[in-house]
């Protein structure tokens, strides 16, 4: 007996269903939906057949009778979904009818014959229909599952899959795609549950196996249809395909025609005949399995090639889950046929950026290795890797050259997976074959070809004397960037580096180092070979004695001298040197504190030499390498490294200086050592400086000898032997040191200055410039020691004066700078000779050049000439020189006179400003003279009278308007300072 409440609810339900039948519109359907919403699940389930009856009529009939009824049908479908959610469908006929009518609505071919009423489902309706069909399948009772997979229902079953796959492929809306795929997956899941039914009359796997080609092909087309396909659609598609494959291939025996039989003998005889009449069945025997697996491999390869490089980590994780699910649950026969296509996903994802994916891949491969090792019927995936790795490394360079950057990363990740899964024995066994070993290294070298086009490396030039004074904050904290031809993304380079390091970890060190030495020699120290060798060495485990030959190969090829070649070849040289220097640090982990001297004896000298390189890339690389060496062996800094090994370095330099012809980069090493040394170690350089002086004397004597021979061949026999003179120099130096008690460095500076007297006339202008800089430094050092300073200034004076007539203006310019310093240090000593020998030459240059610079505006090319720079230097320094020399009135007048033309408004503005500064300096010595010459140039007052009438009037005729602005500015300065 129904309760009173139930009767009332049924009465209300009856009224609303009748209204829907009589008046199928939005209002009546909305009223029914409202009623269903407020009713509990138990009530609706008990009357679900009654509740859905009007909705079934509307869905099946309304599209044939009425146009523009889509909204009403959509409301009906949504209401039906609500009822099905609260119901358990236990009648197969109702299930089949509803599923058929629903899918009929979204079938493009359903209403093409009827021309009177046209019906085209919108995206919203299609989505509602698919969701309703999904709910229907989810809520069907287990008792009807046997009929769902029966041969009689097979056509409808296939039609449903076809329509859903068609909707997933044709519709653009991603929710439709994902819902359609999930609905098919739900239908197949119900087929799996049907295996538990006692009334089962056929094998569900045979039914799904029939539809497997269509499902797999459509999934492949869907995934490849759009590069920007929604990740939820991709995940759903992979889940569907993996579940379908696992369901069909999970348990299959090829000894019989039909593997799964859960029916009695009578049913076995009849089931295949019924299936054969409908045509929806397959016989899953060995031949079918082989053919199907071959076709599935094509689908797998296509899907994997598209998704394996996907940027979204969720998609990559779904692909790994897809592979894991199939290879874990399918039968061994299937795994043997499809392992090669699927395993590369897990091998690739061993290096994935997302840690969870790489971990899942690692766990799965470990499990697969154990499973395959214990199984007699399945082929070990390690055997498969050994079979495939050779062909893969052969094709990898071609793949790298032709694919996108993301695909390159994936391809290198796969190589890493191959190498990692081969254990130590496996990789060593493979590399015992010369062919395999050569092919693997050739693959690495082909991949990491460098790009030498452009001038990026060559343009980074710096002068070593400035470079070595860069602070640690100004230096990069990583190696220089390397441009590869094919590897544009840093991730590609890192992936390749990991492959090389893995080789270094697993291959026997002796075999590896011997091969690397041979490869380096045969390649003539090719940059790509060095790069690969560096990465392998950074992880190799060996005794340092085993790699000494390889280390020697690096050290002997390090040079910082760049030959004058094409830009591309010079870039090659720079990069090769940087890689060799980097390579020295790759040996560090093989040396400990006990064996540090073995490393430092070989490497510290070439590294210090490289720090003095003129190219910034080489300098930065060597500086970083020295920093790493210092840190590895426990030194606080590079300075501490140099100081602690100063004895060895000094001895090494002295030996090199004795053979200077073959070691002409030694001075660079000395300069770098001085930079990194401390004051308390300076005395250790005495021997070095003595050797340098010997070398200088030797070369100077040879120069003089050759010069004399060229002038007069008859005097050839009068030349003294080098050894005798060398001894004389040393004896004189010793006696000089004994006579005076001064700091040890003063005699050294004097020796250097004495050699500068001769070298300052060297034909090479670069040498003359360096000598002038040395003279400046020496004079500053000798300033506190006047007894040594003045004699040295006297010796230097004549050669210095000659430089003011040098054919190279830049040398004359530097000589003037040297004169300024000399005037500061010993101005009184050189006053007379400066006025007599230098000032006239300087003033002559100013007079002649003032005519040239006049009218040269801001855009003139003249402003970039050495002559202009020299002009500016003279005007900036002539005033301070006059002050330092303490010039009197008549000595100062020529300087004032020749500076005045530069107050002209047509002169370049920087020269005008420098002239004002010079006259301002001169006014400190004689303001009256400066005032007089200014007034004679331009004056607003023609006559100036004194208060005392006994003095005559002063008359000025200066009326040069072009000078007015600068003259007035100086007169104002003089008037302020006089008051």
Residue written as token pair 């498969």: 384
pLDDT mean across residues, the chain: 83
If you average pLDDT over residues 435-458, what whole number do you get?
A: 83
Q: What is the DSSP letter of 64?
A: H
If you average pLDDT over residues 697-706, what whole number do you get?
A: 70
pLDDT of res. 958:
62
pLDDT of res. 115:
47
Confidence check: pLDDT of 732 > 70: no
Length of the chain: 979
Categorize the per-residue pLDDT at 693 as very low, low, confident or very high, splitting at 50, 70 and 90.
Answer: confident
Closest to 411 in 3D by CA, of 384, 438, 427, 393: 393
CA distance linking residue 256 with residue 746, whole number of Å: 105
- Residue bearing the bigger pLDDT, 19 or 871: 871
If you average pLDDT over residues 698-715, what whole number do you get?
A: 61
CA distance linking residue 331 with residue 252, whole number of Å: 7
List residues bridging with 140 in a β-sheet. Answer: 89
> Tokens standing for 781?
């050092």
> Tokens standing for 843?
């003033």
Report angle CA 616, 619, 621 to the nearest 5 degrees.
Answer: 105
Least confident stretch, 47-51, 672-676, 803-807: 47-51
pLDDT of res. 177:
92
Confidence check: pLDDT of 242 > 90: yes
State phi, psi for 725 to the nearest 5 degrees: -65, -35
In sequence order, what DSSP letters do the residues of 657-711 get, joined into one string?
A: HHTGGG-TTHHHHHHHHHHH--GGGGGGGHHHHHHHHHHHHHHHHHHHHHHHHHH
Least confident stretch, 64-68, 398-402, 879-883: 64-68
Closest to 107 in 3D by CA, of 41, 32, 164, 36: 164
Residue written as token pair 């100004």: 474
Closest to 12 in 3D by CA, of 43, 45, 56, 55: 43
Helix (H, G, I), strand (E, B) or coil at 955: strand
Confidence check: pLDDT of 216 > 90: yes
> Tokens standing for 795?
């010796």
- Residue bearing the bigger pLDDT, 203 or 766: 766
CB neighbours of residue 976 within 10 Å: 8
Least confident stretch, 45-54, 213-222, 235-244: 45-54
pLDDT of res. 737:
45
Calculate the alpha carbon distances from 92 to 162, 163, 263 in Å.
Answer: 21, 20, 20
Closest to 856 in 3D by CA, of 877, 832, 872, 844: 872
CA distance linking residue 39 with residue 12, whole number of Å: 11
147-171: pLDDT as tens digits: 888 888 888 888 999 999 999 999 8
State phi, psi for 228 to the nearest 5 degrees: -110, 30
> Which value, in Å, is the radius of gyration of the alpha carbons in the chain?
47
pLDDT of res. 564:
65
Please give the span between the terminal C-alpha atoms of the chain, in angstroms, as a whole number: 128
CA distance linking residue 902 with residue 967, whole number of Å: 11
SS3 content of the chain, % helix, strand, coil (to 5): 75, 0, 25
Categorize the per-residue pLDDT at 572 as very low, low, confident or very high, splitting at 50, 70 and 90.
Answer: confident
Ramachandran class of 454: left when φ > 0, alpha when ψ lies in -120 to 50, beta otherwise: left
> Tokens standing for 50?
């009654």
pLDDT of res. 957:
65
pLDDT of res. 247:
92
If you average pLDDT over residues 588-597, what whole number do you get?
A: 89
Calculate the alpha carbon distances from 529 to 331, 619, 928 in Å.
Answer: 46, 22, 77
pLDDT of res. 951:
58
Give the sign of the dihedral formed by CA 556, CA 559, CA 564, CA 565: positive
Categorize the per-residue pLDDT at 133 as very low, low, confident or very high, splitting at 50, 70 and 90.
Answer: very high
CA distance linking residue 678 with residue 681, whole number of Å: 6
Least confident stretch, 187-201, 813-827, 928-942: 187-201
If you average pLDDT over residues 966-976, what whole number do you get?
A: 86
Q: Can you list the pairs that 698-702 forms with residues at least 24 positions away whose Cβ atoms lie under 8 Å?
A: 698/722, 698/726, 700/755, 700/758, 700/759, 701/725
pLDDT of res. 716:
43
pLDDT of res. 464:
45
Least confident stretch, 685-694, 804-813, 935-944: 935-944
Least confident stretch, 554-563, 614-623, 922-931: 554-563
Helix extents (H) in 803-834: 809-833
Least confident stretch, 118-127, 216-225, 493-502: 118-127
CA distance linking residue 94 with residue 946, whole number of Å: 132
CA distance linking residue 776 with residue 823, whole number of Å: 11
If you average pLDDT over residues 410-439, what whole number do you get?
A: 86
Closest to 768 in 3D by CA, of 798, 810, 823: 810
pLDDT of res. 632:
93
CB neighbours of residue 501 within 10 Å: 17
pTM: 0.75
If you average pLDDT over residues 430-450, what whole number do you get?
A: 89
> Tokens standing for 26?
């939005």
CA distance linking residue 506 with residue 539, whole number of Å: 9
CB neighbours of residue 833 within 10 Å: 14
If you average pLDDT over residues 3-23, what whole number do you get?
A: 76
Report the range out of 3-17, 267-281, 293-307 with the highest average pLDDT.
Answer: 293-307
CA distance linking residue 315 with residue 786, whole number of Å: 82
CA distance linking residue 215 with residue 211, whole number of Å: 6
User: What's 630-667 look like in SS3?
Assistant: HHHCCCCCHHHHHHHCHHHHHHHHHHHHHCHHHCCCHH
- Residue bearing the bigger pLDDT, 706 or 758: 758
E strand or H helix that includes residue 954: strand 954-955
pLDDT of res. 553:
92
901-925: pLDDT as tens digits: 999 989 999 999 999 999 999 999 9
Helix (H, G, I), strand (E, B) or coil at 69: coil
pLDDT of res. 673:
87
649-678: pLDDT as tens digits: 888 888 888 887 777 788 888 888 888 887
């Amino acid at each position: 007996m129904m309760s009173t409440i139930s009767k009332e609810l049924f009465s209300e339900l009856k009224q609303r269903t009748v209204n829907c039948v009589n008046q199928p519109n939005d209002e009546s359907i909305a009223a029914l939906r409202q009623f269903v919403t407020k009713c509990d699940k138990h009530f609706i389930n008990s009357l679900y057949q009654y509740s859905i009856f009007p909705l079934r009529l509307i869905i099946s009939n309304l599209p044939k009778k009425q146009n523009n009824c889509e909204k009403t049908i959509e409301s009906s479908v949504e209401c039906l979904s609500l009822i099905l959610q609260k119901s358990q469908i236990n009648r197969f006929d109702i299930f089949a009818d509803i599923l058929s009518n629903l899918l009929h609505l979204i079938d493009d071919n359903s209403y093409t014959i009827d021309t009177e009423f046209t019906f085209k489902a919108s995206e919203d309706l299609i989505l509602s229909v698919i969701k309703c069909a999904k709910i229907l399948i989810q809520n069907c009772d287990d008792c009807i599952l046997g009929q769902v997979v029966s041969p009689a229902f097979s056509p409808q079953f296939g039609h449903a899959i076809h329509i859903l796959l068609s909707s997933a492929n044709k519709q653009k809306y991603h929710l439709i795609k994902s819902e359609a795929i999930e609905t098919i997956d739900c239908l197949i899941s119900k087929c799996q549950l049907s295996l538990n039914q006692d009334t089962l009359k056929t094998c569900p796997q045979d039914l799904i196996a029939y539809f497997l080609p269509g499902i797999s092909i459509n999934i492949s087309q869907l995934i490849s249809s759009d590069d920007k396909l929604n990740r939820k659609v991709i995940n759903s598609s992979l889940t569907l395909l993996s579940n379908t494959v696992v369901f069909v291939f999970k348990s299959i025996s090829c000894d019989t025609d039909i593997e799964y039989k859960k029916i009695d003998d009578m049913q076995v005889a009849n089931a295949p005949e019924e299936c054969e009449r409908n045509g929806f069945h397959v016989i899953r025997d060995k031949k079918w399995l082989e053919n199907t697996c071959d076709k599935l491999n094509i689908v797998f390869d296509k899907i994997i090639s598209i998704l394996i490089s996907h940027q979204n980590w969720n998609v990559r994780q779904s692909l790994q889950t897809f592979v894991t699910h199939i290879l874990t649950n399918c039968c061994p026969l299937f795994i043997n046929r499809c392992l090669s296509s699927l395993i590369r996903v897990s091998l690739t994802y061993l290096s994935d950026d997302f840690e969870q994916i790489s971990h899942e891949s690692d766990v799965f491969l470990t499990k697969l290795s154990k499973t395959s090792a214990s199984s007699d019927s399945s082929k070990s995936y390690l055997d498969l890797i050994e079979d495939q790795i050779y062909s893969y490394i052969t094709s990898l360079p071609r793949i790298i050259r032709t694919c996108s950057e993301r695909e390159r990363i994936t391809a290198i990740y796969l190589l890493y997976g191959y190498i990692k899964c081969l254990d130590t024995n496996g990789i060593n066994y493979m590399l015992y074959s010369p062919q395999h070993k050569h092919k693997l290294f050739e693959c690495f070298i082909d991949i990491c070809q460098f790009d030498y086009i452009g001038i990026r490396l060559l343009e980074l030039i710096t002068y070593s004397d400035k470079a070595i004074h860069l602070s640690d904050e100004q230096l990069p904290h990583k190696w220089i960037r390397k441009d590869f031809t094919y590897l544009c993304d840093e991730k590609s380079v890192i992936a390749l580096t990991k492959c090389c390091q893995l080789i270094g970890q697993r291959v026997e060190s002796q075999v590896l180092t011997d091969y690397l030495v041979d490869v380096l020699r045969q390649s003539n120290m090719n940059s790509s070979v060095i790069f690969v060798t560096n990465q392998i060495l950074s992880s190799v485990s060996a005794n340092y004695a085993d790699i000494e030959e390889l280390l020697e190969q690096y050290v002997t090829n390090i040079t910082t001298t760049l030959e004058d070649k094409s830009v591309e070849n010079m870039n090659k040289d720079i990069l090769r040197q940087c890689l060799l220097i980097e390579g020295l640090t790759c040996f560090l982990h093989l040396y400990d504190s006990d064996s540090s001297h073995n490393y430092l004896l070989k490497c510290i000298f070439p590294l210090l030499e490289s720090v003095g390189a003129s190219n910034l890339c080489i300098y930065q690389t060597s500086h970083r390498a020295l920093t790493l060496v210092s840190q590895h062996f426990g030194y606080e800094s590079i300075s501490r490294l140099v100081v602690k090994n100063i004895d060895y370095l000094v001895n090494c330099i002295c030996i090199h200086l004795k053979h200077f012809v073959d070691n002409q980069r030694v001075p660079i090493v000395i300069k770098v050592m001085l930079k990194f040394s401390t004051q308390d170690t300076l005395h250790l350089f005495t021997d070095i400086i003595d050797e340098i002086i010997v070398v200088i004397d030797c070369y100077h004597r040879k120069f003089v000898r050759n010069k004399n021979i060229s002038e007069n061949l008859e005097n050839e026999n009068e030349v003294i032997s080098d050894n005798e003179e060398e001894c004389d120099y040393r004896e004189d130096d010793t006696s000089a040191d004994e006579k005076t008690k001064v700091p040890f460095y003063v005699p050294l500076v004097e020796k250097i200055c004495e050699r500068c007297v001769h070298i300052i006339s060297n034909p090479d202008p670069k040498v003359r410039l360096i000598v002038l800089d040395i003279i400046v430094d020496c004079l500053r050092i000798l300033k506190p020691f006047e007894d040594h300073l003045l004699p040295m200034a006297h010796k230097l004076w004549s050669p210095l004066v000659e430089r003011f007539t040098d054919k190279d203006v830049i040398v004359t310019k530097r000589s003037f700078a040297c004169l300024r310093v000399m005037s500061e240090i010993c101005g009184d000593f050189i006053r007379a000779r400066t006025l007599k020998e230098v000032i006239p030459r300087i003033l002559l240059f100013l007079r002649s050049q003032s005519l040239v610079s006049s009218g040269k505006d801001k855009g003139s090319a003249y402003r970039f000439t050495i002559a202009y720079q020299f002009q500016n230097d003279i005007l900036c320094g002539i005033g301070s020189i006059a002050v330092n020399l303490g010039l009197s009135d008549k000595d100062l007048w020529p300087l004032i006179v020749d500076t005045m033309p530069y107050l002209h408004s047509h002169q370049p503005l920087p020269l005008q400003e420098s002239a004002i500064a010079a006259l301002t300096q001169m006014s400190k010595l004689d303001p009256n003279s400066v005032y007089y010459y200014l007034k004679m140039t331009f004056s607003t007052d023609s006559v100036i009278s004194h208060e005392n009438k006994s003095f005559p009037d002063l008359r000025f005729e200066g009326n040069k308007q072009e000078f007015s602005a600068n003259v007035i500015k100086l007169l104002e300065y003089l008037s302020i300072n006089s008051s």
